[in-house]
Amino acid sequence: MKLKSLIGAALVAGTLLSGTAMTSMVSASPEPSGWDDNNDKATGSGSDTTYAFMQRAELYMNQAQGCDTDNATPAAAPAAYTLGDCLTGAAQSSVNVNGNWDHDIFTSTYPNGSSAGVKALINGQVDYARSSRGPKSSGESAANFWGFAKDGLIMVTWGNRPAGNLTTAEIKGIYNCSITDWSQIAGQAAGTIEPVGMNASSGTKATFDSYLGFDANSGACKKSLSNGTYPFENDLKQVINDSVINQNNGITWMSRAEYVAWSYKRQTGAAWTVDSKSATAGTIANNSYPITRFIYHVTKKTDATAAAASAEVTGADGGAGGAVRELTEFMCKPAASHGLNDFTGKTNYVELTSVYSVTGFIRVPASEQTNGICKLVPGP
């Protein structure tokens, strides 16, 4: 970015910058970047699983420090409305480019599923998307998937069915209906297994299908809710309150992050080990737990992409696309590149750490990051 580059070059060169010179440097928006001195508004949609995380991340991005703003009472004509935009010229004294320079505004819409969100992004109907699955093999080539966290899928039962261990072969057997009674599982009392399906637009289902190698809803033994629909992902209230599903013989899967973060969604669910591995932050981080996944912030490739061998995010220069570019960088960049939150006095990296903790997700281990930031998976 021009501002960063200018400041960096000045420091490297040891140039003595007067206050006047510095002021003039920041009189224009710091280009090339996603900033344009205007409060652009960007909207995201998609995954249920990542909704709570993104809402919190957006809060810290919206609060992040940046330019000095035009706070003059606006004129009546809308065209003259500049309230909150960056001051320009000599009036601008801020040099803070580690937050949200032109105070762009980010909002996540209510969840509607990963696939629908990504489709809306590609259609140009929203500015970014949330996805709990990676890119599809076709149809999503215009999108970049920025893995900002890891998660695991856990197998869950409820009622009085005690949790135990399932092997991957047993899970596949349960969902392809070749294992139909709990007595076929070590340590379990008899009872007809009722494998519950999941709504088809869910990224959590897509991940589970990939693990199984087939459609989890396709088996003749699979169960849906009493109203004939499949439950939404990661919310056991639906199955626990359902009149058709046997409370002691049902089984489903859900996001480990949602499971540990939200007791209201977890209800009385109990997690099983898979292949004798517990789904912990450590086993998910090092991939020793069998069902792990990344979760994604999705952008248009033209708005945000990774610079070669750099933690910098390149892309759109302004407007909502530019704002998305900066949101992407905010979510992905390392600790040293973050500024302070004005309300807590902590860095936004620390605040994002608290978001990971509250929502149950795990920061992407460094070994799996792209250029020291998120894990970037371009749509093929």
Partner 1 sequence: MRWSRVKFGALTGSLGTVVLLLGMGSASAESSVSVTPDPIPVTAEQSAALVQVSWSGLEPRQLVFVDICKKSISDSSFTVAEDCGAYSGLTPNGSAAGDGSAELEVFRGQDPAGELWGCYAEGDTAPAGVVVYRTCFVRVTHTVVSNLDSDSETPIRFVGSPRVDPGTTATTSAVAPPPQLPSSVSSSGAPAPGGSVDDAEALQFAGSDSGAGVAITG
* Interface region with partner 1, contact rule CB under 8 A, candidates 13-21, 196-204, 255-263, 320-328: 255-263
Give the dihedral of Cα atoms 210, 211, 216, 219; nearest 10 deg. 110
Where does this chain touch partner 1 (CB under 8 A) — which range of 17-25, 188-196, 234-242, 281-289? 281-289
Considering only the C-alpha atoms of the chain, give the largest distance between any 2 of them, rounded to a whole number of Å: 81
For the bound state, the minimum distance from the C-beta of residue 309 to partner 1, rounded and expressed in Å, comes to 13
The C-alpha atoms of residue 193 and residue 220 are separated, in whole angstroms, by 12
Which of the ranges 31-39, 75-83, 92-100, 369-377 carries the binding residues for partner 1, by CB under 8 A? 369-377
When asked if residue 354 is in the footprint of partner 1 (CB under 8 A), the reply is yes
For residues 28 and 88, what is the distance between their CA atoms, to the nearest angstrom? 6
Please list the residues that pair with 273 across neighbouring strands. 165
* Straight-line distance from the first to the last Cα atom of the chain, in angstroms, rounded to the nearest whole number: 28
Site for partner 1 in 256-275 (CB under 8 A): 259-261, 263, 266, 268, 270-271, 275
Comparing CA positions, the residue from 195, 202, 194, 199 lying closest to residue 230 is 199
By CB under 8 A, what part of segment 120-179 binds partner 1?
Answer: 163
Q: Which residue has the tokens 């302004």?
A: 318
210 binds partner 1 (CB under 8 A): no
Binding residue for partner 1, selected from 11, 83, 357, 380, defined by CB under 8 A: 357
In the chain, the amino acid numbered 210 is S
Q: Which stretch binds partner 1 (CB under 8 A): 171-179, 189-197, 230-238, 354-362?
A: 354-362
380 binds partner 1 (CB under 8 A): no
The answer to whether 276 contacts partner 1 (rule: CB under 8 A) is yes
Strands (E), the chain: 41-46, 105-108, 128-131, 143-157, 165-166, 194-195, 250-255, 270-271, 273-274, 292-300, 304-306, 313-315, 362-363, 375-378
372 binds partner 1 (CB under 8 A): yes
Exactly one of 226, 334, 342, 380 binds partner 1 (CB under 8 A); which one? 334
Residue 379 near residue 145, CB atoms below 8 Å: yes
Question: Which residue in the set 28, 95, 200, 350 belongs to the binding site for partner 1 (CB under 8 A)?
Answer: 350
Residues forming contacts to partner 1 in the complex (CB under 8 A) are: 163, 259-261, 263, 266, 268, 270-271, 275-282, 285-288, 290, 292, 334-336, 350, 353-354, 356-358, 362-363, 365-369, 372-373
